[in-house]
Structure 1
Amino acid sequence: MNTSASPTPVEFAAPGPGSWSIDTAHFPRPVSHFQAEIHPQGITEGFTDCAPRYGLLIDTLDFRFINGFGYSTVVPAPETEIPARFKAAEAVFRDKIWRDDLERWDREVKPASIETHQALLAVEPEALSDQELFDYVTRCRENLQAMVRQHHMFNLAAMIPVGDFMAHVERWSPLPVKDYLTLTQGSAPESAGIFHELDDLAEAIRGSEEARGILGSDAPGGTILDRLRDAPGAVGETARTYLDMVGHRLLNSLDTGEPAAIEVPDALVSRIRLAVDQGVQHGAAVSADEAARLRAAIPPEHRETYDGLLEEVLRMWRLRDERGFYSDVWAGGVMRRALLAAGKRLAAEGRIAEPENLAEGTWAEIQDLLRRNGGPSAETLAARADYRRTHRAEAAPPELGDPPAPPPPLDGLPPDVVRVMTAIGTAIMSLNADPDSGEKSTIVKGIGASPGTYTGTARVIDGPDDLRRLQRGDVLIAATTTDSFNIVLPLLGGIVTNAGGLLSHAAIVGREYGIPSVVGTRNATAVIADGARVTVNGSTGEVEIAAA
Structure 2
Amino acid sequence: MTKTSFPKPSELPVPAGAEGWEKLYPYYLVFQDKLKAAEDEKFWFCDSQHWPTVFKPFETIGGEFAVKCLGQYNARHLMIPNANGIEFRVHLGYLYMSPIPVPEEEIAARVPEFQARVGHYFQNWDSMLEAWKTKVRGTIDEMETLRFAPLPDMVPMDDITSGKAKDGTEVLLENYDRLIQLAYQNWQYHFEFLNLGYIAYLDFFNYCKEVFPDIPDQSIATMVQGVDMELFRPDDELKQLARLAVELGLQDRFVRPDEPEATLAAIGAATGGQQWLDRWAQAQDPWFNFTVGNGFYSHDKYWNEHFELPLGYIADYIRRLDEGQTIMRPKEELIVEKDRIVEEYRELLDGDQLAAFDAKRTLAATAYPYVENHNFYIEHWTMGVFWRKIRELSRTLHGYGFWDHEDDLLYLGRNEVRDVLFDLATGWGVGAPDGPIGPHYWPEVIAERTALVNALKTARPAPALNTPPESITEPFTRMLWGITTEQVQSWLGAGEEGEDGVLKGMAASPGIVEGVARVIMDADDLAQIEQDEILVAPVTAPSWGPIFGKIKATVTDIGGMMSHAAIVCREYALPAVTGTGNASTTIVTGQRLRVDGTHGTVTILDGAGAAPVVEGPGAHSHAHGPAETGEPAHV
Structure 2 distance, partners of 1:284, 1:513, is 11
Shift of residue 348, structure 1, vs aligned partner: 6.3
Per-residue deviation at 1:525? 0.7
The answer as to 2:593 corresponding to 1:534 is yes
Higher mean alpha-carbon deviation, 521-530 vs 55-64, is at: 55-64
Show the 5 A alignment for 1:118-517.
120=143, 138-173=177-212, 174-192=214-232, 197-210=237-250, 212-215=251-254, 217-220=255-258, 222-223=260-261, 227=265, 233-262=274-303, 266-276=308-318, 277=321, 278=326, 281=329, 283=331, 285-286=333-334, 288=336, 291-293=339-341, 295-297=343-345, 299-301=348-350, 302-345=353-396, 351-369=402-420, 371=424, 373-374=437-438, 376-377=442-443, 378-387=446-455, 389-393=457-461, 395=462, 398-399=464-465, 403-405=467-469, 427=479, 430=482, 433-434=487-488, 436=490, 439-486=498-545, 488-517=547-576
Aligned residues: 524
The 8 Å contact of residues 29 and 388 in structure 1, kept in 2 or not, is answered as: no
Q: Is contact 2:57-2:410 (8 Å) kept? A: yes
Q: How far apart in 2 are the matches of 1:422 and 1:381?
A: 37
Q: Structure 1 residue 315: deviation in Å?
A: 0.9
Q: Distance in 2 between matches of 1:282 and 1:160?
A: 27
Partner in structure 2 of residue 26 of structure 1: 50
Deviations 1:231-262 (A, max 9, x none): 86442233234344344434323423331233
User: For the structure 1 residues 265 and 434, does the alpha-carbon distance in structure 2 shift closer, same or farther, using more than 3 Å as the test?
Assistant: farther
Task: Identify the range of structure 1 (298-307 vs 315-324) with the bigger mean alpha-carbon deviation.
Answer: 298-307
Distance 1:118 1:293 in 2: 43
> In structure 2, what is the Cα distance between the partners aligned to 1:204 and 1:126?
40
- Of stretches 61-70 and 293-302 in structure 1, the one that deviates more from structure 2 is 293-302
Q: How far does the alpha carbon of each residue in 1:399-420 deviate from its partner, in whole angstroms, 9 at most, with x for none?
A: 35xx555679xxxxxxxxxxxx
Given that residues 34 and 360 in structure 1 are in contact (C-alpha distance below 8 angstroms), is that contact kept between their aligned partners in structure 2? yes
Partner residue of 1:47? 71
Deviations 1:191-224 (A, max 9, x none): 54665543553354334334x3332x13525446
Partner of 1:414: none
Rounded to whole Å, the distance in 1 between the matches of 2:482 and 2:550 is 26
What's the CA shift for 1:351? 4.5
Residue 218 of structure 1 aligns to a residue whose secondary structure is coil
Asked whether the equivalents of residues 204 and 361 of structure 2 are also in contact (C-alpha less than 8 Å), the reply is yes
Query: Which amino acid is 2:67 matched to?
Result: I
Of 155-164 and 78-87, the range deviating more from structure 2? 78-87
Structure 2 residue 132 is the aligned partner of structure 1 residue 109: yes
Q: How far is the alpha carbon of 1:522 from its aligned partner?
A: 0.9
Deviates more, 1:291-300 or 1:167-176: 291-300
8 A contact 2:481–2:563 mirrored in 1: no
Quote the sequence identity (%).
20
| SS at 2:488 equivalent | coil
- Alignment CA distance shift 1:78-1:297 (3 Å): closer
Conserved 8 A contact 1:201-1:239? yes
- Residues 360 and 385, structure 1, Cα contact 8 Å, conserved in 2: no
Q: 1:187 Cα deviation (Å)?
A: 1.6
| Gap change, CA 1:545 and 1:120, over 3 Å in 2 | same
> 1:6/1:525 Cα in 2 relative to 1: closer, same or farther (>3 Å)?
farther
Shift of 1:431: 6.0
CA shift for structure 1 position 162: 0.9
Greater C-alpha Rg: 2
Give the Cα–Cα distance (whole angstroms) in 2 for the partners of residues 480 and 90 of structure 1.
34
Larger CA deviation: 258-267 vs 493-502: 258-267
Please tell me whether the aligned partners of residues 476 and 495 of structure 1 are also in contact (alpha carbons under 8 angstroms): yes
Alpha carbon RMSD of aligned pairs, Å? 4.0
For structure 1, the 5+ residue unaligned runs are: 409-420
Moved more, 527-536 or 228-237: 228-237
**How much has 1:519 moved relative to structure 2?**
0.6
Per-residue Cα deviation, 1:9-49 (whole angstroms, up to 9, x for no partner): 66896455452523233223222311214532453244324
| Gapped regions of structure 2 (runs ≥ 5) | 1-13, 23-29, 153-167, 425-435, 608-635
Q: Which one-letter code corresponds to 2:121 in the other structure?
A: I
Instruction: Select which of 598, 603, 616 maps to 1:544.
Output: 603
State which of 26, 51, 64 in structure 1 corresponds to 2:89: 64
Distance in 2 separating the partners of 1:326 and 1:487: 19
Q: Tell whether the 8 Å contact from 1:144 to 1:335 is kept in structure 2 after alignment.
A: yes
Contact 1:266 1:468 in 2 (8 A): no
Distance change (3 Å), C-alpha of 1:234 and 1:147: farther
- CA distance in 2 between partners of 1:534 and 1:234 (Å): 44
Q: In 2 relative to 1, CA 25–38 (structure 1 residues): closer, same or farther, beyond 3 Å?
A: closer
Q: Secondary structure at the match of 2:124?
A: helix
- C-alpha separation in 1, matches of 2:172 and 2:516: 45
Q: Is the 8 A contact 1:197 1:241 kept in 2?
A: no
Question: Secondary structure at the residue paired with 1:454?
Answer: strand
TM-score normalised according to structure 1 size: 0.80
- Opposite residue 399 of structure 1, the aligned amino acid is L
Whole-angstrom distance in 2 between the partners of 1:92 and 1:407: 28
Counterpart of 2:140 in structure 1: which amino acid?
H
> Which residue does 2:629 correspond to in 1?
none
- What are the superposed Cα offsets for residues 65-119 of structure 1, whole Å, 9 maximum, x if unpaired? 33432233444669998776332234467x47335355322x1222442454356
Q: Distance in 2 between matches of 1:63 and 1:142?
A: 21
**Kept after mapping to 1: 8 A contact 2:295/2:384:** no
Which of 509-518 and 265-274 deviates more? 265-274
Name the CA distance, whole Å, in 2 between partners of 1:38 and 1:122: 21
CA contact (8 A) 2:501 2:603 kept: yes
Give the match for residue 411 of structure 1: none
In 2 relative to 1, CA 455–124 (structure 1 residues): closer, same or farther, beyond 3 Å? farther
Q: Which residue of 2 aligns with 1:36?
A: 60
For the 8 Å contact 2:513–2:595, the answer to whether it is kept is: yes
Alpha-carbon distance in structure 2 between the residues aligned to 1:405 and 1:542:
24
After TM superposition, the score normalised by the length of structure 2 is 0.70
Deviation for aligned residue 1:362: 0.8
Residue identity opposite 1:40 in structure 2: E
Q: Taking CA–CA contacts closer than 8 Å with sequence separation of 6 or more, which of the two structures ends up with the larger relative contact order?
A: 1
* Structure 2 contact 101–474 (Cα < 8 Å) conserved: no
Question: Cα 1:68–1:237, aligned 2, differ >3 Å: closer, same or farther?
Answer: farther
Letter in 2 for 1:214: R
Contact 1:450–1:539 (CA<8 Å) still a contact in 2?
A: yes
2:535 maps to amino acid: L
